[in-house]
Amino acid sequence: MNKKLFALVDCNNFYASCERLFRPELKEKPIVVLSNNDGCIVARSNEAKALGISMGAPYFKSKELIRRHNVQVFSSNYSLYGDLSHRVMSVLQDMEPEVEIYSIDEAFISLPASNHQDLTDYAKSLKARVEQWVGIPVSVGIAPTKTLAKLAGRVAKKNGKYGGVFALTDHDELDALLSSIDVGDVWGIGRRSAEKLHRQGILNVFQLKNANDNWLRKNLTVTGLRTAMELRGTSCIPLDSAQPNKKAIISSRSFGQPISSLADLKEAIATHVSIAAKKLRDQRSAAHSIHVFIYTNRFKEDAPQYSGNMTIPLPQASSYTPTMIKHAMQGLERVYKPGYKYNKAGVMLTELVPQDRVQRNLFAQENRESLPLMETVDRINQAWGRNTIRFAVEGLKQSWQMKQSHKSPAYTTSWAEIPVVKASL
């Protein structure tokens, strides 16, 4: 049996690339994407990075630099990013049978061992197909383990001489390469672990690779030892093509402006329940309880502060949105206090169980037709756009929604915003 290798396919500057896809005039122009409520910078094009715009920097602090260099600013457009991510992953799954979707912009794939040139040529063809069929540029890193593949992907992305594809297999100067990478940049090494390693004099990846096993096990537990083994070329982290179900599901968001009325809070909580319940059904689960929370803005020290939260048990595990909204409203009414300006609200679904293992309750009002009904609603919303069908309690205007002053159209998920192409002779 041929030994398998891992390839990490990583979308380059993903959010910025999504925005540029439908705006070709922005090619090679600096772009930044903002977080919820246009608060912080969460994505930058290479041109924006070159200007010194920092990741995570508050938008208001960077406005002068952005204005001076005519940087294009976009609010986060999650429907666009999610759809384009799905298209990228679909192309990869068409080309390879073993694909692990690691994040919205990364995927691991399993490749048969081959000579260096064959691997590189194949990775280039994979990269070209994604870019041709979806329009999103990607980098590919190839190595014997997933940890090394992450490092290879990093090299492929940052070093232009490799053309976006880099294979660690048979690399002539592997130890020199590992010596040039800080230990804190290794997948699986967090900030605290990096600090421990630095205090021990382990500063780069090559030193971590050759660190003492007993010290690693004692100070970084078996996870740290596993990382070192991966750096040595021993695969310890298998490909996981099936995404594990979440043990809890959260939906929450800060408001575009503070709200104080119970009616507005009910709209927000009902909306978050609908979002969370859809995610619950997507993974074929049901929840035994729902946690409701509302907060004021803790950063405004001169304003009255309050946080209310409550966990409400459900009569039986459910993914039926009306049942969950009903109980969430009861919880909200109990924790709500008038006279405060609330900045954030949300729900968390807990005690999740598989949908087909729900223990029925003789006295619960929910019936067996509830799930097919919600699946029908989900299919309609999937086909015709989110919120084609929604519950009245969610409201229509939703004046509390987050600020998105620079949001681009939902080019691929909304008929009303589909791009129009004009041709002339």
User: Which are the catalytic amino acids?
Assistant: 106
250: its two tokens: 């959260």
Helices (H), 141-212: 146-158, 174-179, 191-199, 205-209
Q: How far apart are CA 388 and CA 370, in angstroms?
A: 19
H or E stretch covering 107: strand 106-112
Q: How far apart are CA 50 and CA 36, in angstroms?
A: 24
CB 166, CB 201: distance < 8 Å: no
Of 134, 148, 155, 205, nearest to 7 by C-alpha is 148
What is the per-residue DSSP string for 152-165?
HHHHHHH-GGGTTE
Q: Residue 382: which residues within 8 A CB-CB, separation 6 or more?
A: none
Question: Which residues does residue 347 pair with via DSSP β-bridges, in sequence order?
Answer: 251, 292
CA angle 375, 348, 324 (to 5 degrees): 45
Phi, psi of 204 (to 5 degrees): -125, 175
Task: Give the three-class secondary structure for 75.
Answer: strand
159: its two tokens: 């070093």
Q: Residue 398: which residues within 8 A CB-CB, separation 6 or more?
A: 267, 268, 271
Q: How far apart are CA 165 and CA 155, in angstroms?
A: 8
Residue type (1 letter), 150? K
365: its two tokens: 């009002």
Residue type (1 letter), 95? M
Query: For residues 233, 236, 242 and 246, what is the CA-based torsion angle, rounded to 10 degrees?
Result: -130
